[in-house]
Each structure stands twice: as structure tokens, then as C-alpha cells.
Amino acid sequence: MHIPDGFLNNKVSVSLIGAAIAVVVLSVKKIRQRLFERVPVAKKKLAVAEGIDINDVEVSFKYSLTKIGENKIYKMAVIGAFVFAAQMVNFPVIGGTSGHLLGGVLAAVILGPLEGFLVIAIVLALQSLFFGDGGIMALGANIINIGLVGAIGGYYIYYFFNKKFKKKLLSAFLAAWISVILASVVCAMELVLSGTYSFGEILRAMILIHFFIGIGEGLITVCILKLLLRYCPKILKNEK
């Protein structure tokens, strides 16, 4: 679903670049806060002749990286690498069309919604810069569709289903499926706003094909989560 350059007009591209930057900045801020904890540090004043009384020790706070915070960076890097690799593997769906994993729900379930978003955004940026996959002007749109809708939106769909059914894998499947369809709807809207094609028809076409691609997304997401549960259970802990 990577939009190339040329599909969107400048107005739509530039607004979405702005929107993407805003979401990236906000998520970076939030992620950063969560990586640190507040630790009290005793600051000692210079000792004076009369000796030290309690007033000489003043406490200030330092923010230091938590253990979870340090591991999280490795986790984000490796999940990003995996999503990139998995996105290369197009699987055939109906009618001579293929799809590939977008990975939003996968990344968000493992890392948390904002971390998942950031990872997807970096993957998209690198694909656009180094592999000509997805336009550089369309990068904002792609980050919004695949990152914001796919990862953050997908995460909350997962969260909703998981609360209701209490079944993680089923919820991840449904969330992955629905998030791909939603991303395709948003993508169709961007195309229509750019005057590329008329609304009804392109919306129907995008939903129809992504209905099937989404099933693939759901199945792959569940398979990978199952493999991780079995072989790498630690990475799925402290999900938030």
C-alpha cells in the first residue's frame, strides 16, 4: 500500500507530511518519558567546620534510563528489522494481485502503540529513501496510513477486542485484518482528495482487495506472535 510520488497532489502530500511530523514528535516525546525513571540523588554540599547537619544534604532528582528502557531500544530495532524483511515478501491474493504484511498491529502489540508507530515510520522512511518503495513526497501519507492507522489505530482495535474476548491471538488477527482495510479506506480518501479518481469506485475497489490482503495480514501476524510466544516469550512481556 506504499503510495508512490505522483498519486497525490501537493496540497494533500504536504498536509500529510505535516500531520506525520506532528505524530512522530508527539510519540517520540511520550516514548522518551517512558524510558526513564525519576531517581532521587543526594547532593552533598561542601562540608563546613561545624560538621554536617541534615540541611547539608539536599535531594534532587535525576532521570535515568530504566532497564526496560534499555531493552526496549533493542526490541524496537529488531522488530523494525523484521517488519522490513516481512514487507518484502508479497503473497498472492485473488485476481493477479499480491499483498504484503504492513506490520502495524504486529509491531504495536509487541512494542506498544507509539513505539510501533515510530518503528513503522522509520521503516517507511528508509524504504522510500533507499529502495524507491513509496514516494518521498508521499511519505507523510504512508506514515499516516500504515503507521497511524495501521499501528496506533490497529493497536486500539486489538485492545478493544482483547478486552471483550480475552483472546490475544484472535484479537490480533481481527485487528490486523481491520487495520489493513481501514488503512486502504484512508488511502482511497487521499487519492480522491488529490483528484486522482472518483470516490465511490476507488473506495469500493480498495476495500474489496484489501479485505483479502487483510486476511493475509491477520494470518501472518498471528503466526509470528505464536512463534514468538513459543521461542521468544520474553519479548512479549511488558507489552505496554
Partner 1 sequence: MKNKEIKIILIGALIVGGIVSLFASSFPDGLEKVAEDRGFIDKGFSIISGMMPDYLFPGIENEMLATSLAGIWGTLLVFVVIFIVGKLLIKRYVLDDSGKSEKK
Positions in 35-64 near partner 1 (CB under 8 A): 35-36, 38, 60-63
Q: What 3-state class would DSSP assign to 71?
A: helix
For the beta carbon of residue 166, count every other beta carbon within 10 angstroms: 9
| Residue 239 is a binding residue for partner 1 (CB under 8 A) | no
The dihedral over CA atoms of 105, 110, 115, 116, expressed in degrees to the nearest 10, equals -20
Q: Shortest CA distance to 159 belongs to which of 122, 116, 121, 189?
A: 116
Looking at beta carbons only, is 18 or 132 nearer to partner 1?
A: 132
Site for partner 1 in 100-119 (CB under 8 A): 100, 119
Site for partner 1 in 1-20 (CB under 8 A): 1-7
Q: Which residue among 169, 192, 202, 215 contacts partner 1 (CB under 8 A)? A: 202
Binding letters toward partner 1, positions 112-151, x by CB under 8 A: -------x--xx--xxxxxxxx-xxx--------------
Binding letters toward partner 1, positions 75-104, x by CB under 8 A: xxxxxxxxxxxx-xxxxxx-xxxxxx----
- Is 1:183 a contact under the CB 8 Å cutoff? yes
| 157, amino acid identity | I
Looking at beta carbons only, is 86 or 170 nearer to partner 1?
A: 86
Span near partner 1 by CB under 8 A; candidates 73-81, 146-154, 155-163, 168-176: 73-81
Residue found by looking up cell 512522530 in the block: 24
40 forms beta bridges with 61
Q: All 3 cell numbers of residue 175?
A: 485487528
Looking at beta carbons only, is 90 or 238 nearer to partner 1?
A: 90
